[in-house]
């Protein structure tokens, strides 16, 4: 009955179209009242939910990504990817995926990835003879890898939701393998369609121009080197690397590229703070919700339920995958990570599955949800930028959904894809 009151009130508030963050907080208060816990204990958990040093990584990485996105980095990365793969048949679609890979390793956000790369490449691909719906589908599906590769904001959220028992550095390094696998599979799909549909070849860029493009892109790509190199060398922590990334992004944007106007900086800061305020409120209320769930012993009850279904870890992982895929289509990624991680972590640790590995499984699942209707935020942004209807975009995405599901199965059942690099580098 306790679980029904807490989860039922949350679902009811969501159905009444209350924002997820406030639904979490109010349902936590209802649950506390039901089990006769003082309401001020919930408020203490709300404050404690955001009083963590590791959380500073989120605002800094978001700000660094915003500075680079609006400072001309996406255009330079597209040009750099064009030098590498733009000359083959279907080259612009490969450029799209590769540019998403580069930019995702700077922004850590699928939404920023889709908006930045899509605004540059979707019109260009259409001009070169690619169908607009295909261009949009490539942009949207390719952006999923930004959730996996460092500096993924969602990896920080998963570490937080896991109670700090999973290091952010381990999750960052673990995301490189799945992220590169996803990009490789997407590029394979693009090559297949390019040959089947006779998409055009790109032009070989002259050496002098190619060198200039590479040098310009190198300044932005150094952000990845600073983040990963600093963490792996022990010079700074994952959280400290975020602040260093902001300083570097600001220096490159304002003093090297100089495409961005100083008078625009206050507006950029305002947009970033608005975005972060939503995220931090969500984290605060999710902390109180998780606290009440723990008092009601909901995680242990869920663990028992899964173990009664089967004692085979592979079967349980498949059940969890289907559950995450379904929920990912109905709710945004961040609240699902904060809600489900405390529930599912005891299940997977009881089965002997590494929490870092499970973090990658969760991120891939929920990343697919971001590009799937009815509430796929990245899908909506991509369709809006591509000026294509949601229905047309989803139809073009169908073969990419199949490819993404195969990547999910590989990440789920081949732990080495996620765990080999952390075991070598950390």
pLDDT band for position 161 (50/70/90)? confident
Distance CA 342, CA 323 (A): 15
What pLDDT is attached to residue 299? 76
Q: What is the mean pLDDT of the chain?
A: 86
What does pTM read for this prediction? 0.88
H-state helical runs in 234-354: 238-251, 265-295, 298-309, 313-328, 333-350
Please give the average per-residue pLDDT across 394-399, as a whole number. 93
| All structural domains of the chain with their residue ranges | 2-425
330-372: per-residue pLDDT in tens? 778 888 898 889 889 988 988 889 999 999 999 999 999 989 8
For 245-255, write each residue's pLDDT tens digit: 888 888 988 88
How many whole angstroms separate alpha carbon 34 and alpha carbon 10? Answer: 14
Q: Residue 23 — pLDDT band, cuts 50, 70, 90?
A: confident
Residue with tokens 């992220």: 179
Whole-angstrom Cα distance, residue 256 to residue 253?
Answer: 6
**pLDDT at 253 (0 to 100):** 87
Q: Which of 8-12, 68-72, 325-329 has the lowest mean pLDDT?
A: 68-72
Indicate whether 74 pLDDT > 80: no
Within its chain, how far is the Cα of 291 from the centroid?
25
Higher pLDDT, 234 or 155: 155
Contact 349, 38 (CB under 8 A): no
Do residues 356 and 304 touch, judged by C-beta distance below 8 A? Answer: no
Q: What number is the average pLDDT over the span 289-314? A: 80
Q: Are 145 and 183 in contact (CB under 8 A)?
A: yes
- The alpha carbon of 74 is separated from its chain's Cα centroid by a whole number of angstroms, namely 18
The candidate with the shortest Cα–Cα distance to 323, out of 276, 365, 379, 372, is 365
As beta bridge partners, residue 89 has 201
CA distances from 364 to 154, 163, 333, 411 (A): 11, 21, 11, 8
Residue 137 has pLDDT above 90, yes or no: yes
User: In angstroms, what CA-CA distances link 99 with 29, 188, 265, 288?
Assistant: 45, 15, 25, 39
- Please say if the pLDDT value at position 303 is more than 80: no
Q: In 3D, which of 389, 386, 302 has the Cα closest to residue 342?
A: 302
Q: What is the pLDDT at residue 217?
A: 86
Give me the mean pLDDT over the 83-104 stretch: 85
Question: Torsion angle of alpha carbons 141, 161, 21, 9, nearest 10°?
Answer: 110
Cβ neighbours around 205 below 10 Å, total: 18
Bridge partners (DSSP) of residue 201 are 89
Rounded to an integer, what distance in angstroms lies between the CA atom of residue 177 and that of residue 149? 8
- The pLDDT of residue 401 is 95
């Amino acid at each position: 009955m306790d679980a029904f009151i807490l989860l039922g009130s949350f679902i009811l508030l969501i159905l009444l179209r209350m924002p997820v963050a406030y639904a979490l907080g109010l349902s936590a208060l209802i649950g506390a009242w039901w089990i006769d816990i003082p309401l001020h204990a919930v408020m203490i958990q709300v404050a404690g939910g955001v009083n963590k040093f590791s959380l500073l990584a989120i605002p800094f990485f978001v700000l660094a990504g915003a500075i680079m996105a609006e400072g001309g980095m996406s255009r330079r990365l597209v040009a750099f990817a064009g030098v590498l793969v733009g000359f083959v048949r279907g080259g612009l679609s490969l450029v799209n995926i590769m540019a998403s890979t580069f930019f995702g390793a700077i922004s850590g956000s699928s939404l920023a990835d889709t908006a930045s790369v899509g605004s540059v490449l979707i019109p260009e691909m259409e001009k070169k003879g690619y169908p607009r719906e295909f261009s949009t589908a490539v942009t949207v599906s390719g952006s999923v890898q930004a959730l996996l590769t460092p500096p993924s904001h969602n990896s920080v959220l998963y570490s937080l939701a896991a109670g700090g028992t999973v290091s952010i550095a381990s999750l960052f390094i673990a995301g490189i393998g799945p992220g590169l696998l996803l990009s490789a599979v997407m590029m394979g799909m693009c090559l297949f369609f390019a040959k089947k549909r006779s998409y055009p070849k790109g032009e070989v860029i002259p050496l002098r121009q190619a060198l200039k493009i590479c040098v310009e892109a190198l300044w932005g790509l150094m952000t990845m080197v600073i983040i990963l190199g600093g963490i792996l060398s022990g010079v700074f922590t994952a959280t400290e690397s975020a602040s260093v990334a902001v300083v570097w992004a600001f220096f490159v944007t304002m003093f090297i590229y100089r495409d961005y106007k100083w008078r625009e900086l206050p507006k950029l800061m305002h947009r970033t703070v608005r975005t972060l305020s939503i995220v931090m409120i969500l984290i605060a209320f999710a902390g109180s919700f998780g606290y009440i769930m723990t008092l009601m012993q909901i995680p242990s009850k869920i663990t028992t339920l899964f173990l009664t279904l089967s004692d085979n870890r592979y079967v349980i992982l498949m059940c969890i995958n289907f559950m995450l895929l379904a929920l990912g289509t109905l709710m945004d990624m961040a609240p699902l990570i904060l809600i489900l991680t405390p529930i599912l972590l005891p299940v997977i640790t009881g089965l002997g599955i590494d929490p870092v590995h499970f973090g990658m499984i969760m991120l891939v699942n929920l990343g697919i949800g971001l590009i799937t209707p009815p509430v796929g935020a990245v899908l909506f942004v991509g369709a809006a930028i591509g000026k294509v209807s949601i229905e047309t975009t989803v139809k073009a995405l169908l073969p990419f959904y199949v490819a993404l599901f195969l990547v999910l199965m590989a990440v789920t059942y081949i732990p080495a894809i996620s765990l080999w690099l952390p075991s070598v580098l950390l």
